[in-house]
Amino acid sequence: MKLVQVMSQYKAALLSVVIAFSAFANAGSVEDAIAERIKPVGSVCVAGDDCAKGLLLAAAGPKSGEEVYNQSCLACHSSGAAGAPKFRNAGDWTARLAAGLDTVYANAIGGIGAMPAKGLCMSCSDDEIKAAIDHMIEGL
């Protein structure tokens, strides 16, 4: 056998050892990655897992007045669009509040003038709307 042939056979053998070794070294992580990708959807997030915290938060209890305000009321009530009484602006609220808080609550829940019922937050409970109003008039 010529030296050149020996060398090329030796290289081929070495190459296959390297390939086999790297496949072996990667096997664990490839299997993990596949298991991660094919695991059933239902087991991805279960109550109590860290990953379920956001879901529980979304499902948990009423939204705060501030959250409701920011999501559903701010668009009109921060600028006073269409004559909406502005956020914590005493001049805009005093006359309305003189009618009594229950009337103000009821007007917001049922709608009044250009103010749509519940500010269009149809998923909001009456209590969440009331909390948003409390947030808007806090300190007045």
Q: Rounded to the nearest whole angstrom, what is the least distance from the CB of residue 130 to ligand HEC in the complex?
A: 8
CB count in 10 Å sphere of residue 84: 19
Stretch touching ligand HEC by CB under 6 A, among 20-28, 29-37, 47-55, 129-137: 129-137
Interface with ligand HEC by CB under 6 A: which range of 7-15, 26-34, 53-61, 79-87?
A: 79-87
Of the candidates 78, 63, 55, which has an alpha carbon nearest to the alpha carbon of residue 126?
63
Nearer to ligand HEC, 54 or 100 (CB): 100
108 binds ligand HEC (CB under 6 A): yes
The letter for the amino acid at 123 is S
Say if CB 118 and CB 124 are below 8 A apart. Answer: yes
First to last CA, the chain: 100
Of residues 52 and 74, the one with the C-beta less far from ligand HEC: 74
Pick from 78, 89, 107, 125: which binds ligand HEC (CB under 6 A)? 107
Burial of residue 116 (CB within 10 Å: 0-12, 13-18, 19+) is middle
Cα separation, 131 vs 121, in Å, equals: 13
129 binds ligand HEC (CB under 6 A): yes
Per-residue binding letters, 12-51, with ligand HEC (x by CB under 6 A): ----------------------------------------
